[in-house]
Amino acid sequence: MEIKTEANLSHLNEFILLGFSDVPSLQDILFGVFVVIYLNILIGNGLIIIITKSDSALQTPMYFFLGNFAFLEICYTSAILPRMLSDLWTRNKTISFLACAAQHFSFLVLASGETLLMAVMAYDRYVAICKPLNYTLIMNHKMCTRLVIASCVSGVPVILGQTIQVFSLSFCDSNVVNHFYCDMPSLMMLSCGDTFWNEVSIYGDAILFGFFPSLLILYSYTRIFISIHKLPTKIGRSKAFSTCSSHLIVMGLFYGSAVIAYLQPKSSYISGIEKILSLFYTTLTPLFNPLIYSLRNKDVIMAIKKLFSKLRIMKE
């Protein structure tokens, strides 16, 4: 494993992802832990996709969005975890320049898709609770499909431009990235050129894919809570709040961990604190999301029970 310095970085063709090399005695344990986490993410979100597609009781816009969100979760973690598991298993930390750029691009596109889809899901709940008479008219299948596609592709041109900008920098301090994936701030720390516009683009992305969606979410749920308090029965209020609380918990976990990680001072990238914080939004929130949605939703629990009952009958 060659660590390049300023003298031999004129033709950089690979990076070294430091990952968790600072704790070599825990490499095997971490591999086992992350394998279990990744398998649970695949199984949990895969189960959500299956039941939202197959169960007739879940053929509504809310579960259509939930199924697509679960699919994005699988893709989102698959941009990071398989590579990290390979590094932990083989102890080979090198990643090619192009592979690093591809990981950076795919991860940010999927992350932006998630934030926008969360806003769409909040809007869906707003229409369902605040405008129930027009719900089926507004949130028809054609509109739902368009909203999902728009959420997934809206970030592509912005992230593509950002990726080209980052990987056009001159890297002359080192080729060692102090992270477990090709994170933009960590890459910028290796540059000997001017990174001002790169830093501006980070804040621009935060506004486009973080601040604006969170404003829409905040507005939607403010209106929802006002409407819930106006419901005549306690049961109606409880049901409406239960439906929305799962979305709020998931959104809080994702936005909270991402904001804390990306607003850390630069010194945290050196100390490695940012790596720990990144684990929350790259692995732990996709792990917990299926549990949150299933444990707090009676319709999902019933659909899972019916699915396992069918599988049991097929085996017999």
> What pLDDT, in 10s, does the model give residues 67-125?
999 999 999 999 999 999 999 998 888 999 999 999 999 999 999 999 999 999 999 98
Q: Look at residue 59 and tell me if it is in a domain.
A: yes
What was the pLDDT predicted at 191? 84
Joined together, the tokens standing for residue 98 give: 């192009």
3-state secondary structure of 173: coil
CB of 300 closer than 8 Å to CB of 293: yes
Name beta bridge partners: 15. Answer: 95
**Residue 242: its pLDDT value, please?**
66
DSSP string over 101-163: HHHHHHHHHHHHHHHHHHHHHHHHHHHHHHSGGGHHHHT-HHHHHHHHHHHHHTTHHHHHHHH
Residues of the chain with pLDDT under 70: 1-11, 173, 231-243, 258-272, 295-296, 316
Are the CB atoms for 161 and 283 separated by under 8 Å? no
24 assigned to some structural domain:
yes
- The residue range of the domain holding 200 is 12-315
Residue 249 lies in a domain: yes
Q: Answer whether residue 21 is part of any domain.
A: yes
Give the CATH number of the domain where residue 243 resides.
Answer: 1.20.1070.10
Rounded distance, CA 16 to CA 26, Å? 19
What is the count of structural domains for the chain?
1
What is the predicted pLDDT for the residue at 7? Answer: 42
Distance, in Å, from the CA atom of 255 to the CA atom of 259, rounded to the nearest integer, reads 6
CB contact at 8 A, 53 and 303 = no
Whether residue 210 lies inside any domain: the answer is: yes
Whether residue 7 lies inside any domain: the answer is no
- In a domain, residue 1? The reply is no
Q: Tens digit of pLDDT for each residue in 123-144?
A: 998 998 889 899 999 999 999 9
Residue 6 falls inside a structural domain: no
